[in-house]
Amino acid sequence: MRTALLSAGTALVLLLTPATCAFAQDGALHPLQPPAEPESIRLGSGGVEQQPAPEGWFRQWGEPMVHNVSTATLTPFLPAPGTGNGAAVIVAPGGAFRWLSINNEGWKVAKALADRGIAAFVLKYRLIPTPDSLDKLQASMDRLFAAVGSGQPASAPLSPDLSLQLADAEAAYGLIVSRAKAWGVDPHRIGMVGFSAGAALTLHATLHSSTMKLAFIAPIYGGMGPVDVPKDAPPMFNVIASDDFLFRGQFGVVKSWFDAGRPVEFHLYQNGGHGFGLGYPGNTANGWLPVFVHWLEVNGLFKPMAAQ
pLDDT for res 27: 80
pLDDT for res 142: 82
In order, the DSSP letters of 132-191 are: SSHHHHHHHHHHHHHTTTTS--B--B--SS-HHHHHHHHHHHHHHHHTHHHHT--TTSEE
Q: Can you give the pTM of this predicted structure?
A: 0.89
pLDDT for res 110: 98
Count of the separate structural domains present in the chain? 1
- Residue 17 pLDDT exceeds 70: no
- Residue 259 pLDDT exceeds 70: yes
Helix axes 18-25, 134-146, angle to 10 degrees: 170
Please indicate, yes or no, if residue 198 is contained in any of the structural domains: yes
- Count other C-beta atoms under 10 Å from residue 267's C-beta: 16
Q: What is the mean pLDDT of the chain?
A: 87
Q: Report the alpha-carbon distance of residue 74 to residue 178 in Å, rounded.
A: 14
Please indicate, yes or no, if residue 103 is contained in any of the structural domains: yes
Q: Is the Cα torsion angle 251, 199, 153, 280 positive or negative in sign?
A: positive
Please indicate, yes or no, if residue 167 is contained in any of the structural domains: yes
Give the closest residue to 292 by CA, choosing from 242, 225, 217, 223.
Answer: 217
Under 8 Å between Cβ of 37 and 73: yes
pLDDT in tens, 283-307: 999 999 999 999 999 999 998 665 4
- Stated as kind and residue range, the H or E segment containing 208 is helix 197-208
What residue type is 204 in one-letter code? H
Radius of gyration for the chain, computed over Cα atoms and rounded to the nearest angstrom = 18
Please indicate, yes or no, if residue 292 is contained in any of the structural domains: yes
- The strand order across the sheet containing 190-195 reads 41-42, 73-77, 119-124, 88-92, 190-195, 217-220, 236-241, 264-269
In which domain, by residue range, is 178 found? 18-307
Q: Report the alpha-carbon distance of residue 245 to residue 25 in Å, rounded.
A: 16
pLDDT for res 143: 80
Please indicate, yes or no, if residue 141 is contained in any of the structural domains: yes
pLDDT in tens, 46-99: 999 888 899 999 999 899 999 999 999 999 999 999 999 999 999 999 998 999
pLDDT in tens, 135-178: 999 998 888 766 433 344 434 444 558 999 999 999 999 999 99
We report the CATH number of the domain holding residue 271 as 3.40.50.1820
Q: Is the Cα torsion angle 25, 140, 243, 152 positive or negative in sign?
A: positive
pLDDT in tens, 55-66: 999 999 899 999
Please indicate, yes or no, if residue 130 is contained in any of the structural domains: yes
Q: Which of 163-177, 257-271, 273-287 has the least mean pLDDT? A: 273-287
- Residue 100 pLDDT exceeds 50: yes
Give the closest residue to 96 by CA, choosing from 2, 5, 200.
Answer: 5
Please indicate, yes or no, if residue 8 is contained in any of the structural domains: no
Q: Report the alpha-carbon distance of residue 180 to residue 191 in Å, rounded.
A: 13
Q: Which of 125-134, 155-164, 216-225 has the least mean pLDDT? A: 155-164
Please indicate, yes or no, if residue 7 is contained in any of the structural domains: no
